[in-house]
Copies of this chain bind each other. A is one copy, B any other.
Amino acid sequence: MSEGRTELSQLGEFGLIDKIKKNIKLQNPETIFGIGDDAAVVSMDEKNLMLISTDMMVEGIHFDLSYMPIKHLGFKAVATNVSDIAAMNGFPKQITVSLALSNRFSLEAIEELYEGIKTACETYKIDLIGGDTTASMKGLIISITILGVSLPEKIVKRSTAQKGDIVCVTGDLGAAYVGLQILRREKEVYKSNPEMQPELEGKDYIIGRQLKPNARMDIIHDFAELNIIPTSMIDISDGLASELMHICTQSGVGVQIYEDKLPLDNRTLETISELNMSSTVCMLNGGEDYELLFTIKQSDYEKIKNNPEICTIGFITEKEKGLHLVSQNQQLVPLKAQGWVHF
């Protein structure tokens, strides 16, 4: 071990990934590409490609079972992995699920967890093919690896956006983050007075977005039907600003998005007002919406303009112009990626 000590918090998750990536040399011709996108790509034969992605969720870091029903956790753990396959324009096929659990968990709790996993497998038409189960020293850790398929000409990476492309997002933004704020508030209320009834009326939508997010496979099917291949794509797990940063950095481009075009659901807005938060900050930096952020060629605009689930929010510029939000009062605001900081 070398003498110095560098804290992981100094690097952050992306810095650590960069460090790891730098040391890797690929040896097998079947490995098309590795670290650096939503999923890795491996060749199956001349025609088909396999997509592989993996996610680890740690109790106390990614979820809190005091307000997260364990069945929903099972669903969400699968859905977030499916979302990574969707973000490559692929179709999910199989998952493995590994669990580390403390003796706090009963068989019944684990069966509930697998109920949620099973529901997700049915929803997204995937097979649970393996896993590992072990004791943990503390809490629950879920590690899921997902396999999907696509064709070489259909795979969409983060690194291929081009100047002039239109930037699109699916669904609406910020709801999962705002839902989390409400769940945390109610937990605090409950802790100070367990007799109090939680105030969750009218919060179904935003809480549902946090507890049981949906991977946008419907959009991937739309792309196939509409004969669209996005020029780049990523799923929104860390927040719009952070994901835009990934696309722009990896594609070597800039971007301009418009504040008044960002999609916000009225139910999200209502709670944002109630909590005195900024809707733009929630949409830019609130994570876990698992919507898709993608770019298309201008010539494809006609194909998507009437799709109620797709919203155009800006366009790709040359790199030198940087990453900006055009605010409602026409000011250019530089975009900063906040993302999740675990360490």
Interfacial residues, chain A to chain B (CB-CB below 8 A): 1-2, 4-11, 13, 16-17, 19-20, 23-24, 26-28, 30-31, 33-35, 39-40, 42, 44-45, 47-48, 50, 52-62, 70, 93-94, 96, 98-101, 103, 105-112, 114, 118, 121-122, 125-139, 141, 143, 145, 147, 149, 342-343
Contact = CB atoms under 8 A, between A and B. Distances in A.
Contacts of A60: 137
Given A94-B28, A101-B8, A107 B16 contact: yes
A44 to B, nearest CB: 4
A317 to B, nearest CB: 30
Contacts of A26: 127, 129
B134 A56 contact: yes
Contacts of A2: 108, 111
B126 A28 contact: yes
Given A5-B108, A58-B100, A135 B342 contact: yes
Contact of A6 (B54, B96, B107): B107
A13 B110 CA distance: 12
Nearest to A40: B129
20 contacts: A8-B103, A27-B125, A28-B127, A30-B149, A31-B93, A33-B129, A34-B127, A35-B128, A40-B96, A42-B129, A44-B45, A53-B130, A54-B131, A54-B132, A54-B145, A57-B134, A98-B143, A103-B343, A136-B141, A138-B139
Contact of A16 (B16, B130, B133): B133
A28 B7 CA distance: 44
B35 A130 contact: yes
Contacts of A20: 114, 131, 133
B132 A56 contact: yes
A342 B103 CA distance: 10
